[in-house]
């Protein structure tokens, strides 16, 4: 069975062994290779949420549950990340920065990857990506970051203009609740 305390200990040990994301990736891959165990350990995702399982200056571990049909704006992390899907699907669009020398920094799409159950993706510290849960049920993912996810100043890009602006953690956490409420209102399912 997936035990949060053991998973955190394994991630911390992996980070002590290798400051890059390589060893942590193996820990995440091992965990999501048994999605049923993760579901027993964390529970069946029913509502969108961003649940901190562990937080320190060197490492943040989140149980991230994407509400159905939710999209989050292009954003960066300014630290490496390892994403492992234990249920559902997460579509990532990868963006590259353009402009910025004489005007505002913008992004343009540069690639994409769909992640499904058991998939693991490593993101470098400079990656800009947006995420969509394209299915009509919650998607559960373990996200591990090489730093304090909540303390680092970073950027997001406006959905329409694709112009860079400061990332706001509280606003993005609210987006999970709002996306959840919109889905339940549209489908008539109970809150």
* pLDDT tens digits for range 34-73: 999 999 999 999 889 999 999 999 999 999 999 999 999 9
Strand partners for 96: 108
| HSE toward the beta carbon, residue 179, CA cutoff 13 A | 27
In the chain, the percentage of residues whose pLDDT exceeds 70 is: 97
Angle at 118 between CA 23 and CA 29, to 5 degrees: 10
CATH 2.60.120.10, applies to 4-187: yes
pLDDT at 100: 67
Supply the Cα-derived Rg of the chain in whole angstroms: 16
pTM of the predicted model, to two decimals? Answer: 0.92
**At CA 108, angle to CA 104 and CA 110, rounded to 5?**
145
pLDDT, one tens digit per residue, over 3-40 is 999 999 999 999 999 888 999 999 999 999 999 999 99
- Residue 104 has phi, psi (to 5 degrees) of -70, 150
Distance of CA 74 to the CA centre of its chain: 12
Q: What is the mean pLDDT of residues 167-180?
A: 85
At residue 136, the 3 state secondary structure works out as coil
- Residue 139: other Cβ atoms inside 10 A: 27
When pLDDT is averaged across residues 147-159 and rounded to a whole number, the result is: 94
Amino acid 1: pLDDT: 80
Q: What is the pLDDT of residues 83-122, one digit of tens each?
A: 999 999 999 999 999 976 777 789 999 999 999 999 999 9
What pLDDT is stored for residue 191 in this prediction?
Answer: 56
């Amino acid at each position: 069975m997936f035990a949060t305390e053991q998973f955190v200990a394994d991630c911390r040990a992996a980070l002590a062994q290798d400051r890059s994301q390589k060893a942590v990736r193996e820990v995440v891959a091992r965990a999501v290779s048994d999605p049923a165990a993760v579901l027993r350990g964390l529970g069946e995702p029913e509502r969108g949420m961003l649940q901190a399982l562990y937080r320190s200056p060197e490492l943040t571990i989140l149980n991230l549950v994407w509400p159905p049909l939710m999209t989050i704006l292009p954003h960066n992390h300014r630290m490496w990340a390892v994403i492992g899907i234990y249920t559902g699907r997460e579509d990532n669009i990868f963006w590259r920065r353009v402009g910025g020398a004489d005007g505002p920094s913008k992004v343009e799409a540069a690639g994409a990857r769909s992640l499904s159950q058991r998939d693991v993706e490593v993101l470098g510290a400079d990656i800009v990506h947006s995420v969509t849960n394209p299915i009509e049920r919650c998607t559960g993912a373990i996200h591990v970051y090489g730093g304090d996810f909540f303390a680092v100043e970073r950027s997001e890009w406006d959905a329409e203009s694709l112009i860079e602006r400061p990332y706001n953690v509280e606003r993005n956490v609210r987006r999970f609740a709002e996306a959840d409420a919109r889905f339940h209102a549209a489908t008539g399912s109970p809150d």
